[in-house]
Chain A
Amino acid sequence: MQRDWPEVWGGLILAMIGIGAAFYAWQNYDLGTLRQMGPGFFPVAMGVALCGFGLIIALPGLWRRSEGVPFDIASLLLILAAVLVFGLALPRLGLVGTAFATVLIATLPAERRGWVWRGVLALAITLVTVLVFHVGLRMTLPLWPRL
């Protein structure tokens, strides 16, 4: 048993986003008046409100006890890496190379080990992707890597 850290951190991060957004909007955009609101009015109000709600979430968490939550950092990092690789590789590796590479990275956190099924799955998904997006929807994307 420990303090309810997800609540505390979640609330604090929200509060910081809120106050940060409010401050940034207050500095950079015109607030205007109630009659003629400027572009800054709404973001400042919402930022202050978010800060308040964040604190309401965070403070009780300091005294509350809770079980830890399962934090699956490996899955998190590898899936985000797969998405990023997709975005960065698409202009260079073409649809086929990108889909194949993305599946290989995305299957890394899977419970099943071994590379054979990963390769087969990557081929199958790449094939379906090409059929749906290139043949079916005629998306204009290069298929093959640019050498």
Chain B
Amino acid sequence: MTPSRKRSTENPAHDALARAGRALRLVLLIALAALFLIPFYLLLRNGLAAESDITAADWTFFPRELHWSNVRELFDDPDVPMAHALLNSTLIAVATTAGTLVLASLAGYGLARIPYRHANAVFYAILGTLMVPAAVTFVPSFVLVSSLGWVSTLRGLIVPTLFSAFACFVFRQYFLGFPRELEDAAQVDGLGYWRTYWRVVVPNSLPVFAAVGTIVFIGAWNAFLWPLVIGQDRDAWTVQVALSAFSTAQTVNLHELFVAAAVSIVPLLVVFLFLQRYIVAGVERSGIDD
């Protein structure tokens, strides 16, 4: 990928060895990639099979006949409102992502760039919450949210999750490394913190926003415990809750379970493949990793 990596050597035997090494590495990578794809394959195989194909004594690599009707059956199932759950999950994930990005980036910028005597104390107070597992404060959180009357509302599902210490931390680290010259120029133009932030800092930081946004979006889409307890009303079910409704029913219907699982990851895979470029670029520039 860089010229330096293609160091040539004069020794042909060494050259052959290197080539063999490369080939071996490639074979290993392909094998690993195949392993990583197995679960996706199983989701498709089981999701599009008839129940008897899944439980058959002999393994079939793919169902003899693809049962696309399983998808229709899923959306027609009166017991599990899959379409509505997809809508809920989308609303929640979008709102959570937007809200988190705004709140956490502002806080991260303030912590990184605005001098304040107790800034470090505030930062450590925020960072410290990373160490408190959500499940630990689970019952008091539930009581708090329910005393606000937010049970079974989208508000209850969204607002308490907006304050991500992780996102704030990433933004702070990133803004610490943001080139000061750009902001200085803006300040010379007479822009205050607020306008400097929105006009100069944000537009030059989009990859980081994309990276953090994707991570938050994935987390919001995949959240399980909180939606399970807060989303009491069927109208407030998310995809994950609907999925667990399938798997904990007294009668397990394997093909429907798998087709539901497959449907639940499709939106995310689309977002993901589309945004991957930005995530990688964002991670590279954000310093999430240092």
The answer to whether A binds B is: no
Contact residues of A with B, CB < 8 Å? none
